A and B are shown apart, each in its own frame.
Chain A
Amino acid sequence: EPEVTQTPSHQVTQMGQEVILRCVPISNHLYFYWYRQILGQKVEFLVSFYNNEISEKSEIFDDQFSVERPDGSNFTLKIRSTKLEDSAMYFCASSEVSDTIYFGEGSWLTVV
């Protein structure tokens, strides 16, 4: 069964450093997403991406965050200058149409 894959599974970074989280969505999917889950809290929507542009973003997704689909298969989330409060599990997801969304296994980011 096709699946969304994410790398790295776990990354530790120093505060202020840039981080790029990578995702390979399911191949025929057109919609791409990033969600995050801070330890002990709800899963929260960050951003959705369609037709090579952001279609919706949450208030969490500020200027420190950016997304890109650099080569037609990868979908990346960049955090320019990480803060301690960015420590979370980041989930990439994709969907063929906008109703059934499939998630990857997540990238656990620890900012120290």
Chain B
Amino acid sequence: AQSVTQLDSHVSVSEGTPVLLRCNYSSSYSPSLFWYVQHPNKGLQLLLKYTSAATLVKGINGFEAEFKKSETSFHLTKPSAHMSDAAEYFCVVSNFGNEKLTFGTGTRLTIIP
């Protein structure tokens, strides 16, 4: 069984300050982990993925995430928030080689001008 817990349903940061979106996972096997972003009235866009290679993963738009097996975490970070980052962010897990994705409940990121 696999599951994901996103620890914050809503995060607000000021433009230009760091972003931290927290995610913990549970998986019986070697997990693949993903962050997807959903802008208002848009589909799900892949930000980045971890699939048992480097533990620090760089994604699009300056986002990165670090896989920490000892903490079962995969937190998403960005050094400096931009207004265009305002969206819903989903942490997602799958068992490596398994087609089924399990989504977290999402974190809504608000950027304060």
Which residues does A use to contact B, with CB under 8 Å? 4, 31, 33, 35, 42-45, 48, 50, 55-56, 58, 91, 93, 95, 98-106
Please state if A91 and B43 are interface contacts (CB–CB under 8 Å).
yes
From residue 66 to 104 of chain B, which have CB atoms closer than 8 A to chain A?
90, 94, 96-104
Please state if A42 and B104 are interface contacts (CB–CB under 8 Å).
yes
B43 touches which one: A42, A44, A48, A104 (CB < 8 A)? A104
B99 touches which one: A42, A43, A55, A106 (CB < 8 A)? A55
Please state if A35 and B101 are interface contacts (CB–CB under 8 Å).
yes
A100 touches which one: B43, B46, B106 (CB < 8 A)? B46
Please state if A105 and B43 are interface contacts (CB–CB under 8 Å).
yes
A99 touches which one: B36, B45, B94 (CB < 8 A)? B94
Please state if B103 and A44 are interface contacts (CB–CB under 8 Å).
yes
Interface hub of A43, A45, A50, A103 (most chain B Cβ within 10 A): A43
Given contacts A45-B101, A56-B100, 13 further A-B contacts (CB under 8 A): A42-B105, A42-B106, A43-B44, A44-B103, A55-B99, A58-B100, A93-B44, A99-B94, A99-B97, A101-B99, A101-B101, A105-B42, A106-B43
Q: Please give the distance in Å from B66's CB to the nearest CB on chain A.
A: 19
Q: Which residues of A contact B45 (CB under 8 A)?
A: 103
Q: Which residues of B contact A44 (CB under 8 A)?
A: 103
Complex CA–CA separation, A106 to B49 (angstroms): 21
Q: Please give the distance in Å from B59's CB to the nearest CB on chain A.
A: 12
Residue B32 interfacial (CB < 8 Å): yes
Q: Please give the distance in Å from A56's CB to the nearest CB on chain B.
A: 6
Residue B51 interfacial (CB < 8 Å): yes
Complex CA–CA separation, A20 to B49 (angstroms): 32
Please state if A43 and B103 are interface contacts (CB–CB under 8 Å).
yes
Q: Please give the distance in Å from A37's CB to the nearest CB on chain B.
A: 8
A56 touches which one: B34, B36, B99, B106 (CB < 8 A)? B99
Complex CA–CA separation, A91 to B103 (angstroms): 13
Q: Which residues of B contact A103 (CB under 8 A)?
A: 36, 43-46
Complex CA–CA separation, A95 to B105 (angstroms): 23
B102 touches which one: A45, A93, A101 (CB < 8 A)? A45
